[in-house]
Structure 1
């Protein structure tokens, strides 16, 4: 089992080598977040993003998406100019971004406005976004969930198979569009000068807009993180209520499973997070009653 301290030291070593290769100083690099990626603040207004191993394609595409959104006037995180992107070190990718001005998390209205803008963009013509895969990396996360018992992981593998089968039978919905892939309030920021900024572009792809919309419904009705009034305001602002769609429960269940697998992955590196992973798993198995469930955020 790799601890969070070991994971951070490994990411920092990758960062330092990447910085040397492009002539950027890593001195005083400040760890901002250690989760799916390791995020560091560097001098001169640069933020570095260090992926997990095997994410080279996603990193390259994320930079292309950022540049494409900038060219289309969508307010999103900007790739830092003048630096080679991405830099590959030991199977991991490092990308470079402009540091954002002071900001806070957005709200559901900010998410709705951003999604309306994104979903109406025609896909890029110079590169392929690829099709949305709502199951990406879930099998790997289950395999790495070392704090869970093998019986629990076996149940998760079976649940994954059941979700795949349900997903294959989704009813028709909104026309396919450019989707963000992980659209929740934590990935839309509002700066002090009033701009909204879209973050975490690595799952941007072409797929059903409902996948983006379901995250806010989960925020409201799975974990009670926003009120029903907040959710209704979101549906009015976007112009569609995904809860009323026949495929809602399937996408909701997939999103909840993704959240549970993420907690299990984090627990493998930080065993203090194991109770949260176990709690989420018990909820999915119907052992702790009906939604909403009181889940605690993990990095």
Structure 2
């Protein structure tokens, strides 16, 4: 690790990165943090990227490798494993190793749509589990941060109850499109666009089988909730997917609610390690609770902390 990294979350993940590399027979000397968010992602010499999960995500890491190989077999561009197996770590964590992509930028929304259209038409593989409760991720985060002081006890109680209501609503969703393979967290930040115009899917650990509408909702909320993309751009997304606008789906409000809640709980989780993000987390909670007027709300990306390796959203 370089001596100049002064971000506490990056420093905390370093011993795990070092241990995983040693176990895998790789030299971690000169490693640099790439992104410290839900997972800790580091680059090591040799064009390899190490991804260390949060606690409780070991099984998902092993499945992510299976998903990457399955996508490669079906011609879908995605990150590719540098090693075939994960290294198990304490606290039900794991580290996976990936080939570093060429120089790239965040994907376009149309890239997301094209990749999802391709993914949703693939046969369902045996290793993917059903998407049974996407609100669970928010509840897990709330349980982990309930005493961190970022939001009030009243807000926390409301958020937990709201998560439970959304979980119940998920199981009574209106009929939609046929179940398909899902990315599970499909948005432009999880797509990399290289200089030659190719687009690659990233972060495959949420892959599952379920309603295709779930993957499409992440981009739709950028119009309906946060107003971070303009309507013409969203219309190009819809066209690139094949003309289907998820906002017309009868279960969209439930899916939108779950996505919003996950965005809010991500901000609360981030504020635990980066206190300067507390105002944004509290602002999002107030919006969700109806204290800041109707949608769309003004949400900003959770800013990167001073001295950190880069943005955390």
Would the TM-score normalized by the shorter structure come out above 0.5? yes
What whole-Å deviation, never above 9, does each CA across 1:179-219 have from its counterpart, x for those lacking one?
11011111112111221100010001100000001111101
Corresponding position: 1:11 with 2:10: no
Determine the structure 2 residue equivalent to 1:254.
258
Q: Secondary structure at the match of 1:32?
A: strand
Deviation at 1:290, TM superposition (A): 1.3
- The within-5 A match list for 1:195-210 is 195-210=198-213
Unaligned 5+ segments in structure 1 are none
Corresponding position: 1:297 with 2:301: yes
Q: Secondary structure at the match of 1:276?
A: helix
Deviation at 1:14, TM superposition (A): 0.7
Determine the structure 2 residue equivalent to 1:287.
291
Deviation at 1:47, TM superposition (A): 0.3
Q: Matches of 2:36 and 2:128 in 1, distance apart?
A: 26
- The within-5 A match list for 1:235-246 is 235-239=238-242, 240-246=244-250
Corresponding position: 1:131 with 2:130: yes
Deviation at 1:5, TM superposition (A): 4.3
Deviates more, 1:271-280 or 1:232-241: 232-241
Deviation at 1:84, TM superposition (A): 5.5
Q: Matches of 1:6 and 1:90 in 2, distance apart?
A: 20
- RMSD value, Cα: 1.3
Q: Secondary structure at the match of 2:141?
A: helix
Deviation at 1:137, TM superposition (A): 2.7
Distance 1:84 1:10, change over 3 A: farther
Q: Secondary structure at the match of 1:78?
A: coil
Deviation at 1:89, TM superposition (A): 2.0
Deviation at 1:272, TM superposition (A): 1.2
Q: Matches of 1:273 and 1:131 in 2, distance apart?
A: 34
Determine the structure 1 residue equivalent to 2:143.
143
Q: Matches of 2:105 and 2:300 in 1, distance apart?
A: 20
Q: Matches of 1:22 and 1:235 in 2, distance apart?
A: 43
Deviates more, 1:6-15 or 1:146-155: 6-15
- The within-5 A match list for 1:1-40 is 5-40=7-42
Determine the structure 1 residue equivalent to 2:309.
none
Contact conserved, 1:85 with 1:94, CA < 8 A, in 2? no
Q: Matches of 1:214 and 1:189 in 2, distance apart?
A: 19
| Count of residues in correspondence between the two structures | 292
Q: Secondary structure at the match of 1:178?
A: strand
Determine the structure 2 residue equivalent to 1:90.
90
Q: Matches of 1:161 and 1:11 in 2, distance apart?
A: 31
Contact conserved, 1:144 with 1:268, CA < 8 A, in 2? no
Q: Matches of 1:271 and 1:235 in 2, distance apart?
A: 37
- The within-5 A match list for 1:177-192 is 177-192=180-195
Determine the structure 1 residue equivalent to 2:234.
231
Instruction: Calculate the TM-score normalised by the size of structure 1.
Output: 0.94
Q: Matches of 1:5 and 1:110 in 2, distance apart?
A: 32
Contact conserved, 2:65 with 2:84, CA < 8 A, in 1? no
Match of 1:212 among 206, 211, 215: 215
Instruction: Calculate the TM-score normalised by the size of structure 2.
Output: 0.90
Contact conserved, 1:143 with 1:153, CA < 8 A, in 2? no
Q: Matches of 1:163 and 1:176 in 2, distance apart?
A: 20
Q: Matches of 1:79 and 1:190 in 2, distance apart?
A: 18
Deviation at 1:243, TM superposition (A): 0.5
Determine the structure 1 residue equivalent to 2:105.
104
Determine the structure 2 residue equivalent to 1:52.
54
Contact conserved, 1:22 with 1:84, CA < 8 A, in 2? no
Q: Secondary structure at the match of 1:294?
A: coil
